[in-house]
Structures are given as structure tokens and as C-alpha cells.
Amino acid sequence: MITIDIDKKLHGVDGEMDLKVGLSINEGDFVALAGQSGSGKTTLLRILAGLEEARGSIVIGNEIWLDGTKAIVPQKRKIGFVFQDYALFANMTLEENLLFVNKDRKLAEHLLDITELGELKKRLPNSLSGGQKQRVSLCRAMMNRPKLLLMDEPLSALDPVMRTKLQNEIHLLHKEFGTTSIMVSHDPSEIYRLASRVIVLDQGKIINDGSPKEVLLKTQGSQKFSFEGELLDVTKVDVIYIAIVSIGQQLVEVVVSQDEAKNLKIGDSVRVSTKAFAPILSHY
Amino acid sequence: MIELLKTIEFTPFLLSFKLAAITSLILFIVSLPLAWYLSQTRSKAKPFIEAVTALPIVLPPSVLGFYILVALSHNSPLGAFFDDLFGIKLVFSFPGLVVASALYSFPFMVQPLQSGFESINKNMLEASYISGKSKFTTLFKVALPNIKPSLMTAVIVTFAHTVGEFGVVLMVGGSIPGETKVASVAIYEMVEVMDYSTAHIYSAMMLIISFMVLLGVYIFNHKQHKKIGAFGS
């Protein structure tokens, strides 16, 4: 069990903000931290890692990491941390990056095998692609055999195919090592796939906490499906109006009435939903 | 020409290089912890320390030389201390030159090191802490290997700058052959006595050596940059 009860004053873009978070996490859980940028997600992660000061308490199992303002240093926490920008040791080969953390060669071999990096182990990080670098970073984090794995938007800089691949690897490692994982993420499909719990922060406070299904599914009542998107264009075609909405990576056309068209401004955030109609799901 | 070269005394050059080597070594050892501290600290004292460090760049060498002379003379506590305890006279002597050069070239060592450390991706250092490594290990295994160009620049520029100094050396050391008469002072004296041919040879040697050293540094830095990228991936 991990119990967190912390308080920290942040100087954000909108002036001062109070990061005040109290929560407990079961061991082995995979928690996604969501929320708009500037809501305190990264700071919370850094406080857990001991990279940032805070006031309060952090207790993990029977270890006390933070008590009042007395914190134990990051070196003694045995955590894994995956940075958004990889933060690999540029002067060391992949293998050396892993062995720097822990001299366990067997574990390093095993991790490099899982992530299909075995053949690249003598290369320097500078010669790798983003996806490869992030896998090394993930392997390096696991070399600690961490009780707590912290990931700060680990996949946000990668393309969709690479994301899916790494999501699987993260899932695999989380299960194999039995770590408790906390990941900052903006991507609902990623959260749904990986996390067993989602915590949404806003202005430094928890505003939503539940299973991915409860938190992420936006349909209500009799709505069968519902998507949020951005209105790109509204054009008049004969007597009807057609709105073009960008949803995720897709553009869709939606027919709207004249009255509706009047109320829509290009750039608006809109929700496309429907009910009383059975959508057909097919492979493409 | 050969005849002329044979008559030339190379002692001032050797003295210059000996002085520069010792100064660079001392400064490297002293500056490394200071530059690391300055790059990592959030202390309010930082601008103050930085300003003091940079003073030798802006002060006229004569001002610096004058203060060093006063501070090291036998009448000052520091000078008396060294004389009484070790029997070392710091004025008009080689040890005095080393002290003066170290002060004069100080910023040329600290500043490249500090900016090198500051350019390192902070997450890379944090990743090392999280991996259980102390600040000391992180400095030597992660930070230093990733700022090789800055290390190179700091050491070489300090060396070259010390070889090239004139005003401070003249004031603190004077011109004692084999003891304090370094190349730059020797050239000055040759010009004064209108021995232009020797002055030409000395000056040309200084020019060529300086250029080769700088060229070497830039080639090295260019290669490093290609190899590990801009200070960490």
C-alpha cells in the first residue's frame, strides 16, 4: 500500500497554485495520472521520486519516504523513472546505460531481449530512434527492480505504431516485475489499455478518480457513442450544412441544420454523439 | 637562418609552458568543484560568486598585478606567512608567477566548465540519482564524460591564456632569466632593444603554436558533438 498526502505551493503560469493530493494506491496497481498541462501531474511524480521538495507524508509499504519536510533522497527510494525526453546517459552504450544502474548482467540481457534491443546493445544512444531510446529508458528503469515505476508521458513523443508496441512492453514489464506503476498520460486509449485506475488532476487537486471506464467513457444516458473533437469547417451544400470535425487522427463529416450551423464557430470544441441507432463495427 | 636559430635561447618558451601547465593543473582541480556547485545551486550567493570569478576578465592586468603584488609582498600577512613557513618568496619568483597566473586565468577555467555543466540535460543527472548514484559518482561518470568539449575548451584556453599573459607576469615576476622571464616578456624586451629578428622568430612561434592548439580544440569538439550529440540525448 502506498499512501500519499502532500502539499506544495507551485508557481504556475496562472500565478500561485496549491498542489494538494491525498490518495492511497494498492501495490501492483497501474495508475494513470491525467489532467491538463499545468495541473501538477509532473510535479506530483517528481515529489514521489524525491526530486522535488514537498510537505506532508509519503509511505510506501513499511518505508517512510516523506515525513513533514524530512524526505529521504532519491538514491534510497529504489524507484524507476522514465522521462519524456528519455534522459539516457549519452556517453554510455545501451548496455552500459543499464549496467550503470545495477551490475546484474542477466537482468540486462533479459530486458534487452524483451524489448528487442539485444543487437543494438553496443550502440550509443545518439544513434537510436526515439522509440528505441524510450525502450532503453524503460529497461534502465527496471534495472533497479523498482517497487514503484514512475513514467512522465513516456510515449507522447512517439508515433502511433511505436506507441502501441511500447504500451505492450510496459504492460509486460509491469506484470513481470509486479511493480506499482504511475504514468502521466493524455491519451485515453493508452490509459484504457494499461491502467487499472485513472486519477484526474486539475489546478493541483484530484477531481476524478476511478476505473478508466468510469472516467473516460463520455457517453451518458441513452447515448450510444460520443466523440469529442475540434470543428474545422462548416460548408453549405445545397440546403444542408456539413460540419467537418477532427476527432483524434480522423476527420469526419456531420450534417447539421441551419440553426446549428449559425451557433458553430470554427475551432470550437464539439461533441459528436448519436443514439437510437446501432453502429456497425467492421475491420478495415 | 640555421645559424640564427642555434643562437636563440628557448628558456623563455619552456618557462612559459611550464607555468601554463602548472597553472592549468591547479586551476582544473580548484575550478571543477566550484563550476559544478555554480551549475547546480539555486543559492542567492551565485551572482556574487560569478561576479568575483569574472573580475580578472575586465580588470586591467596592471590593476590585478598591483593588487597581487601588494598581497604577496613580504610586508603582507600572506607573503610573510609563505616566507616564514616555507621560505618561499612569492614576489619576483616562479611560485609567485603561478599564484598570479592562477588568479588571472581563473575565469577561463571556471566559465567553460560551468556552462558545460549547465548545458547537460538535468533529467540525465536526475536519472543517475534515481539509479542510486551519489552526486560524486554522477559528476565523474555522467556529467564529466558528457561535457568533454567544455573540458577541452576550459583546459586549453586556460593554458593558452596563461602562455599569452604579459602585464600581470611583468608586474609580479619582473624579468629574471630562467625564473620569471617568460616568452611574452622576452619578446617585449627584444623589441625594446630592437632585436627584431629574434622577436620575429619568437612571435611567429607563439602565433603558430597558438593557432595549432586552437585548431586542435575545435576539431576535437566538432567530432565529439557528432558522436554523442548536444550534451546528452
SS (H, E, C) chain B: CHHHHHHCCCHHHHHHHHHHHHHHHHHHHHHHHHHHHHHHCCCCCHHHHHHHHHHHHHCCHHHHHHHHHHHHCCCCHHHHHHHHHHCCCCCCCHHHHHHHHHHHHHHHHHHHHHHHHHHCCHHHHHHHHHCCCCHHHHHHHHHHHHHHHHHHHHHHHHHHHHHCCCHHHHHHHCCCCCCCCCHHHHHHHHHHCCCHHHHHHHHHHHHHHHHHHHHHHHHHHHHHHHHHCCCCC
CA A33 to CA B98: how far, in whole Å? 58
Pair A246, A204 in one domain: no
Q: What are the phi and psi torsion angles at B154 (to 5°)?
A: -60, -50
Pair A107, A182 in one domain: yes
Q: Does A212 touch chain B (CB under 8 A)?
A: no
Pair A139, A197 in one domain: yes
For A49, the closest chain B residue by CA position comes to: B130
- Please give the radius of gyration of chain A, using alpha carbons only, rounded to the nearest integer: 22
Q: Does A125 touch chain B (CB under 8 A)?
A: yes
CA A115 to CA A97: how far, in whole Å? 15
Q: Taking a C-beta distance cutoff of 8 angstroms, is the pair A117, A148 a contact?
A: no
Pair A212, A228 in one domain: no
Query: Do the Cβ atoms of B130 and A75 come within 8 Å?
Result: yes
Query: Do the Cβ atoms of A87 and B126 come within 8 Å?
Result: yes
Question: Is position A283 within any domain?
Answer: no
Here the CATH number for the domain that contains residue A253 is: 2.40.50.100
Pair A189, A239 in one domain: no
Question: Is position A170 within any domain?
Answer: yes
Mean local confidence (pLDDT), A46-74 = 93
Q: Taking a C-beta distance cutoff of 8 angstroms, is the pair A40, A201 a contact?
A: yes
C-alpha to C-alpha distances, B30 to A44, B99, B153, nearest whole angstrom: 38, 13, 16
C-alpha to C-alpha distances, A280 to A250, A253, A283, A284, nearest whole angstrom: 17, 17, 10, 12
Q: Which domain holds residue A230?
A: 223-275
Give the neighbor-by-neighbor strand order of the sheet with A223-237: A250-256, A240-247, A223-237, A269-275
Question: Is position A125 within any domain?
Answer: yes
Structure confidence at residue B233 (pLDDT): 38
Q: What are the extents of the domains in chain B?
A: 2-225
In this prediction the pTM is 0.80
For A83, the closest chain B residue by CA position comes to: B123
Here the CATH number for the domain that contains residue A106 is: 3.40.50.300
Pair A108, A242 in one domain: no
Q: How many domains does chain A have?
A: 2
Question: Is position A282 within any domain?
Answer: no
List the single range of A54-63, A198-207, B215-224 with lowest mean pLDDT. B215-224
Pair A142, A197 in one domain: yes
Query: Do the Cβ atoms of A90 and B124 come within 8 Å?
Result: yes
Interface test with A, best of B42, B128, B131, B144 (most A CBs within 10 A): B131
Question: Can you tell me which residue has the cell 542567492?
Answer: B44
Structure confidence at residue A26 (pLDDT): 94
Question: Is position A152 within any domain?
Answer: yes
Q: Does A76 touch chain B (CB under 8 A)?
A: yes
Per-position pLDDT tens, chain B of length 233: 666 667 777 888 889 999 999 999 999 999 999 999 999 998 999 999 999 999 999 999 999 999 998 988 888 888 888 888 887 788 888 998 999 999 999 999 999 999 999 999 999 999 999 999 999 999 999 999 999 989 999 999 999 999 988 989 999 988 888 888 898 999 999 999 998 988 998 899 889 988 888 898 889 888 888 877 654 43
Has residue A177 got a pLDDT over 50?
yes
Structure confidence at residue A223 (pLDDT): 57
Structure confidence at residue A270 (pLDDT): 84
What integer best gives the mean pLDDT of chain A? Answer: 88
Pair A203, A235 in one domain: no
Select from A201, A216, A231 the last residue of a domain: A216
Q: Does A75 touch chain B (CB under 8 A)?
A: yes
Mean local confidence (pLDDT), A183-195 = 90
B227 contacts in chain A (CB < 8 Å)? 124, 126
Q: What are the phi and psi torsion angles at A226 (to 5°)?
A: -155, 130
Has residue A280 got a pLDDT over 70?
no
CB atoms within 10 A of CB A259: 8
Q: Does B18 touch chain A (CB under 8 A)?
A: no
A75 closest CB neighbour out of B129, B141, B228: B129
- Report H helices in chain A: 41-49, 94-101, 105-114, 130-142, 160-177, 188-194, 212-216, 258-263
Select from A177, A200, A216 the last residue of a domain: A216
- For the ranges A137-146, A250-259, B9-18, B178-187, the one whose mean pLDDT is highest: A137-146
A vs B, Cβ pairs < 8 A, gives 77
For B224, the closest chain A residue by CA position comes to: A91
Pair A142, A159 in one domain: yes
Question: Is position A246 within any domain?
Answer: yes
Question: Is position A153 within any domain?
Answer: yes
B131 contacts in chain A (CB < 8 Å)? 100-102, 140, 143-144
DSSP A237: E
Question: Is position A12 within any domain?
Answer: yes
Rounded to 10 deg, the angle between the B46-58 and B94-119 helix axes is 130
- Say which CATH topology domain B2-225 has: MetI-like fold (1.10.3720)
Degrees to nearest 5, angle at CA A239 with A238 and A240: 100
Q: Does A80 touch chain B (CB under 8 A)?
A: yes
Mean local confidence (pLDDT), A233-242 = 85
Q: CA of A73, closest CA in chain B: separation in Å?
A: 9
Has residue A153 got a pLDDT over 60?
yes
Pair A199, A99 in one domain: yes
Has residue A282 got a pLDDT over 70?
no
Model confidence at A277, pLDDT cuts 50, 70, 90, reads low
Model confidence at A110, pLDDT cuts 50, 70, 90, reads very high
DSSP A249: T
All residues at 6 or more sequence positions from A101 whose CB lies less than 8 Å from its CB, including other chains: A140, A143, A144, B131, B132
For A149, the closest chain B residue by CA position comes to: B130
B124 closest CB neighbour out of A73, A89, A101: A89
Select from A198, A216, A234 the last residue of a domain: A216
Spatial CA neighbour of B138 closest among B149, B150, B151, B128: B128
CA B110 to CA B108: how far, in whole Å? 6
Model confidence at A220, pLDDT cuts 50, 70, 90, reads low
Pair A233, A168 in one domain: no
How far is C-alpha A13 from the geometric centre of its chain's CA atoms?
22
Pair A7, A77 in one domain: yes
CA B3 to CA B198: how far, in whole Å? 12
Spatial CA neighbour of A99 closest among A112, A86, A116: A112
Interface test with B, best of A82, A103, A126, A129 (most B CBs within 10 A): A126
